[in-house]
Structure 1
């Protein structure tokens, strides 16, 4: 029987047991320690918020700041000095700076621009599936789930095709580092390379603009002017990083869970109009962003009867909030026909002013990926249906994604 302290330790240290099933840990924390004080490996006092109502409120609480410069010592101890130059963007800022940056980026990242990518994304899905073996087991992650979003975000930003594999490698290095000296050096080198690359690319867009998002971002202006050069570089990094890893893991998680729930998969296959609701339910059920990015308390605040002292870091457990039985009926069940008002209440893309700007693109990629996969290969199966899923190891709760996804596309082919 897992104890409350076991659950705290599991969440602090991302133990193998926690990685296999964080939802069991969150269920206990929601009940016994809904606002949980922790001391993760990075050494900074951190509070983990696990209940839905607290989580939703915290995500839009102005007392919980996203301005990394206000918590610089803590930020550097976690991410290192090299991260600072790449994080001068809307994710790591508060109003009025956040409002200005988001408005400028929003003017270029429009629904029209995203929807215009639909035929390109469909073509990318089909071309990637053309290259996949159909009758023998293979890992769907490197063959399909990872390249799809990196190709899409590179197309959107205007990154040349020959640079896509490099972008994937660098963003993977930034995402999967830990706290060892070796991993910190690898992270620093990847961040320096990304900063140099986007600096050069943006200079090229200034001189020779194209029909792409980076070119549009170099041109957008408002009453306060446009993005500074460093804001442009940092925003390009943010869009690349967020637009790649989160969607790649989302696709992998979604395919795994649909194959593990054949009745749910069959419902989507027999009713194509369910693909949109299915995406929302899959994000709720096991999304790729397990916890929010860090916030820090600018004053003493109270959540769930727990005092969070000024200066402490705060993380919101999105995965926990999305399975809170006080908000969702039968939250541990995957139900693609869950009522729409319940599906749309999930916090998988955040809430408030920092709601994910790329959510429409992620939804579109997910819908087209699932439709393409299961439409073309309706008999697709897990290569080892009885085997235990292998989840990615991370140094602290952040992303939730599979380490591998062995499948057979057409076992009866």
Structure 2
């Protein structure tokens, strides 16, 4: 399963950080109501599961703020040892109190009955969900597939931007990308860049992401795949156009290295969270623009991804865990996170204005413009969407091998429907 791959890639380490102090923190996303939690010292174990965070961020944004506001609570932040993932923890009855992860993991967590529904704690502590980015809250609910269950609260957000290499554009006398471009605009700009010079291949553009289109891969009433629908033809026709920008680019999965490491890709459409790689490459002269859009979906970029905080159903300290979350989501801490380069999950504009203020590598970058568009919505998933969704990579491979878009989509739909039919038959 995906989770095993994620867990085995993590470094086995445990970080226990505590700080003394009794002064109160800043105002929370909402101030707690009356608490029935004990004031006895308690250590909460929090598992890092697939979502990136540095040890400095763990100390400054998680453990220190919690102990400052609640001196009796200590967070023990750790990553899972190789071969001992969440499934093994569940089987051994060894779940932590909390999990720090990305919202994409929620369907898997629910299969293991891991998350605790935060709805009642939200009411008890008077947390105003309206202060959060509503797309992030809605995404958490949708990924839970359980209606109004609130399985987590978002800590920080991730969204899509367009990175561009200023040196490449300068080298070939091409104007820089602008905010608000369509994919057609970006392709035409890429055509002015793409070439082979002095045995170096320069690519114009790469990394178009299908989630931007919010396309259902199945008909939820019939459980049949929908790849022959117009939206998929539109997306994959554009995806093919990006890959065919001269001199042609049949590489898959190398876009980030070509931009961040090899300095051979002019424009990279990707997550904002990888901006640290751009900052670390001192030879890369870069900036960002807003994520390109489809003309029929103006102002809609890549979907929102949130790094979230989950309380596990097995925790014996759920109320203390929720107190810890309120400290992490306090205004004071979210300001600190924004200044450190974390996009806040709270929707007050000031967090975007403060974004990256303490990160020298972001000085002068087009942050405001790059973050000016809305995120695409996501759609509910189930085991049938998982079966159909597995065909996306096959469609891309078929197109790169020369198959026309319509044929690639039709064959993928047929394969998906056969697998879904087998699954339905097995469940009868």
TM-score (norm 2): 0.25
> Which structure's residues are more often helix, by fraction?
1
TM-score (norm 1): 0.25
